[in-house]
Amino acid sequence: MIKYIGSKRALLGPLVETAMALPGVRTLLDAFSGTARVGHAFKSRGLTVHANDHNAYAHILARCHVAADADRWTDPATALLRELQVTPPSPGWFTETYCERTRYFHPKNGAKIEAIRERIDALALPPELHAIAVVSLMEAADRVDSTTGVQMAYLKSWAPRAHNDLELRLPALASGIGFAHQLDAREFVARHRADVVYLDPPYNQHSYLGNYHVWETLVRWDRPEVYGVACKRIDVRTRPSSFNRKREIESALAEVLDAIDARWVLLSFSNEGYISRDRMLEMLGKRGRVNVLEFPYERYVGAKIGIYDPQGRKVGTVGHLANVEYLFVVELAADARRAV
């Protein structure tokens, strides 16, 4: 799966085991699904999973990793990826924008990405097979990118992996029942009921759309207007999230919590977040019984490298290299469930 800030890869084991130990858990809602890593893990454990995210790149990741059934799609997807791999490169707007005006990918790979993406749309594939193909391309591009793991900027010199050839591989699929949605988080939890709801919202000023705008463009394939040295999509400016705003995050989270109809809520948050541990306990305690688990983890690789200006000069130092991830386990009181 793609490199991703906020990915629960290191915490996936404890998270899954905590949820599976709760009584009566057969269905799960993942309201901020991101890479869909969590939803995929729970589906692999036999739960029926509904994964949701408002960004297009995250929605297609969920359609691939959660909604697509491995038993149905593994063979046709394998054959399709073999066919797409031999597509001749064809540079155009994507290559110019993300390989020449910027350096997210080497031009040889940008031209290959562009040709394969055009071919995928031309084939008019079923939704699940389309998602698998696009995700395979996204993951292949991620393996040859030239960034520190986010698309706020790119490296001054090509990363060694950027010179490797683009290679399509079958993404991780799971057998069983899963669904992918692209809704506002509050609307999503208001529309669906489950035994447990997992919440992993943005927690500070860093926008996921801003960090992964190239993936949004690769999925939408819409040639957006871009701005700045990083060639970000213009809608990075026009699609803000209340979860990225210190004054709005508490009310936004409260609205999601009030719309939930479930017995259990699992909520991931960081000590870098706008809501403190004690304040989160206070908010959740009004809705039911709360336990909190704590997990130390290292910050993403960009934090280790340091802070640089657009000319590549180091201009600052990072204050800390490790954080604490909190997992709040809430058993909602009967009268605290869905208040809509």
Using one digit for the tens of pLDDT, what is the confidence trace for 280-315? 999 999 999 999 999 987 655 455 455 445 455 556
Across the chain, what does the average pLDDT equal? Answer: 92
Over 90: is that where the pLDDT of 36 sits? yes
In the chain, the percentage of residues whose pLDDT exceeds 70 is 90
CB atoms < 10 A from the CB of 182, how many? Answer: 17
Q: Does pTM top 0.75 for this prediction?
A: yes
Per-residue pLDDT, 3: 86
Torsion on CA atoms 143, 145, 150, 156, rounded to nearest 10:
150
Over 50: is that where the pLDDT of 138 sits? yes
Instruction: Report residue 339's pLDDT band, with 50, 70 and 90 as the boundaries.
Output: very low
Give me 149's structure tokens: 């793991």
Q: For residues 92 and 110, what is the distance between their CA atoms, to the nearest angstrom?
A: 9
* Structural domains of the chain ordered from first start: 1-68+174-202+246-340 (3.40.50.150), 70-173+205-240 (no CATH)
